[in-house]
């Protein structure tokens, strides 16, 4: 790797051409010196569309090393390439070896992919969650530890938005409200968004261990709280201030058969044939056709999730043809007891009645984290007793625009996704900090978090490969965390889910010792 100004930018493979693959590819393309050089994706249409957008161009065709029908095919190709690299004709003219990998596939595939590519010793950014169990997280760490260290990052994008970086600066470096006493943090998912992704979509079922939406949707937020209150900082010192207890409550409150409108009738399972559809706010016709296709004329998310080829249909045949295909997709349904369960589970059913689906993930949940006094000389304010309350809920107008309040010994802070308001007790003054708006493309990507994460990862990769930073230094100063902290954040989610399922308060030190085999330092 050359200097940071090298004409040979870092080369990345994206595994998974879904919405997150596109999000990171856009961020890499627009905000870093890196290059998306290859795509591995099972679906041929998605693979071709992604490649035309980011790699070989609208009128081009992929070369052998640019397009793979899945990550296994790429691993086999890359292994052969390395084996033949020193042989005549072993390296294609103009080919630049890959520098790193973005893993943007379904959650359950993350651990197998990372274990399989560990011997290739590439830098890795994995979309959240890292894995669906603590044992898989630990196995990932074990697999990667067998090889020279590389940069590892996770899609916890809340750490990287300009808003949250400023918020943490106020709390930890400037200590504008003194000692943190308690935090209330809410993720309002949005009423139709929850139905789209967690009732009809890919994240509607919990794992066999009972892990659900807290991990797949809100591990961002648990990590955010841990980043504010636990991670090393000018407020807490270099030693993490770990929680003492974790508790949680939650349930499937609304999306179940008991809430189905009586007018729908017991046999109706699809919006397109439902007599109650005109009066139902979850009507698939209203959400996908009337709002997003007819009114918004937006072929991106969520329409692209329902009909991946919808943009091409509009371009080639017009909006009427796109509507016809959309309605065809919404009409697809299954029959419980007759359609094989593995087929039902393998895809989303976006015209399905939200009260007749196979969902079991909670739509309303709270998590309480408690910290005991753990003083370290010079950092008493950051390591005193404190509490964080997280609330994830579906029936909201706001969509993923987090909000919260932080209570301190000298004042309090309120925040949403756009402003941070600081009130000082001593002066009685209230100061509102408006976070400058970014370009729409950046703003809609988790408030700039996607772009911030991609930028931090690529810079870390460059510095490590250039020899100007060690991996440990790049993880700390640029990525902002290491694999150990990533796993710790996930472990808190797993502990909270155990607390919810068993209706108990989890002793963190004991839970960690039992489940990880390690002592809390």
pLDDT digits (tens, 9 = 90+) for 441-495: 656 556 678 889 999 999 999 999 999 999 999 999 999 999 999 999 999 999 9
Structure tokens at 247: 């508790």
- Smallest Cα–Cα separation from 248: which of 407, 405, 138, 388? 388
Positions of CATH 3.40.50.720 in the chain: 11-158+451-479
**CATH tag, 179-253+362-409+484-516:** 3.30.360.10
Pair type for strands 100-103 and 11-15: parallel
Please report the pLDDT score of residue 4 as a whole number: 45
Specify whether the backbone of 467 is left (phi greater than 0), alpha (psi in -120 to 50) or beta: left
SS3 13: strand
Please report the pLDDT score of residue 30 as a whole number: 86
Sign of the CA dihedral 36, 302, 309, 340? positive
pLDDT digits (tens, 9 = 90+) for 223-266: 999 999 999 999 999 999 999 999 999 999 999 999 999 999 99
> What percent helix, strand, coil does the chain show, rounded to 5?
45, 15, 40
Sign of the CA dihedral 139, 150, 85, 101? positive
d(CA 10, CA 1): 8
Positions of CATH 3.30.360.10 in the chain: 179-253+362-409+484-516
Q: What is the dihedral of CA 28, 34, 36, 38, to 10 degrees?
A: -150
Residue where the block lists tokens 């390296």: 91
- Smallest Cα–Cα separation from 186: which of 62, 354, 367? 367
**pLDDT, mean of residues 265-272:** 96
324 burial (CB, 10 Å; 0-12 / 13-18 / 19+) is exposed
CATH topology of domain 11-158+451-479: Rossmann fold (3.40.50)
Q: Using pLDDT thresholds of 50, 70 and 90, give the confidence band for residue 417.
A: confident
Residue 89 pLDDT > 80: no
- Smallest Cα–Cα separation from 71: which of 126, 10, 27, 2? 126
pLDDT digits (tens, 9 = 90+) for 21-45: 999 999 999 888 899 999 999 999 9
Q: Using pLDDT thresholds of 50, 70 and 90, give the confidence band for residue 505.
A: very high
Count Cα neighbours of 209 within 13 Å in the Cβ-side half-sphere. 16
Q: What is the dihedral of CA 63, 104, 229, 387, to 10 degrees?
A: 170
């Amino acid at each position: 790797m050359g200097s940071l100004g090298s004409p040979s930018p870092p080369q990345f493979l994206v595994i998974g051409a879904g919405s997150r693959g596109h999000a990171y590819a856009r961020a890499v393309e627009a905000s870093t010196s890196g290059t998306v050089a290859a795509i591995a994706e099972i679906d041929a249409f998605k693979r071709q569309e992604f490649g035309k957008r980011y790699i070989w161009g609208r009128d081009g065709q992929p070369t052998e090393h640019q397009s793979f029908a899945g990550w296994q095919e790429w691993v086999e190709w890359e292994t052969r390439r390395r084996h033949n690299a020193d042989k005549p004709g072993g390296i294609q003219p103009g080919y630049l070896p890959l520098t790193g990998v973005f893993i943007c596939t379904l959650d359950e595939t993350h651990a197998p992919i990372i274990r399989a590519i560990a011997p290739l010793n590439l830098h890795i950014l994995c979309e959240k969650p890292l894995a669906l169990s603590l044992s898989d997280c630990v196995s990932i760490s074990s697999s990667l530890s067998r090889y020279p260290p590389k940069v590892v990052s996770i899609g916890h994008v809340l750490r990287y938005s300009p808003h949250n970086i400023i918020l943490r600066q106020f709390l930890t470096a400037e200590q504008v409200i003194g000692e943190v006493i308690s935090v209330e943090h809410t993720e309002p998912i949005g009423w139709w968004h929850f139905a789209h992704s967690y009732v009809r979509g890919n994240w509607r079922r919990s794992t066999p261990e009972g892990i659900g939406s807290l991990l797949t949707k809100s591990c961002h937020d648990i990590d955010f709280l841990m980043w504010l209150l636990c991670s090393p900082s000018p407020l807490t010192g270099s030693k993490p201030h770990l929680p003492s207890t974790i508790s949680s409550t939650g349930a499937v409150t609304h999306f179940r058969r008991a809430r189905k409108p009586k007018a729908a009738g017991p046999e109706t399972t699809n919006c397109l044939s439902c007599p109650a559809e005109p009066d139902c706010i979850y009507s698939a016709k209203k959400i996908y056709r009337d709002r997003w296709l007819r009114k918004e004329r937006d072929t991106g998310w969520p329409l692209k999730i329902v009909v991946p080829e919808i943009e091409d249909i509009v371009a080639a045949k017009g909006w009427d043809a796109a509507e016809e295909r959309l309605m065809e997709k919404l009409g697809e349904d299954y029959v419980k007891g007759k359609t094989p369960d593995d087929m039902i589970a393998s895809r989303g059913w976006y015209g399905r009645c939200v009260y007749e689906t196979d969902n079991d993930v909670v739509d309303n949940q709270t998590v309480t984290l408690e910290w005991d006094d753990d003083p370290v000389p010079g950092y008493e304010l950051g390591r005193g007793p404190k509490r964080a309350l997280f609330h994830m809920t579906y029936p909201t107008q706001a969509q993923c625009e987090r909000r919260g309040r932080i209570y301190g010994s000298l004042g309090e802070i309120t925040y949403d996704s756009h402003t941070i308001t600081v009130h000082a007790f001593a002066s009685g003054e209230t100061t509102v900090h408006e976070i400058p708006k970014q370009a729409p493309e950046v703003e809609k990507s988790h408030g700039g978090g996607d772009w911030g994460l991609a930028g931090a990862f690529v810079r870390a990769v460059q510095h490590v490969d250039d020899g100007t930073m060690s991996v440990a230094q790049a993880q700390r100063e640029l990525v902002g965390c290491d694999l150990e902290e990533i796993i710790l954040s996930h472990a808190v989610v797993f502990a909270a889910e155990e607390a919810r399922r068993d209706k108990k308060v989890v002793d963190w030190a004991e839970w960690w010792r039992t489940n990880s085999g390690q002592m809390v330092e």
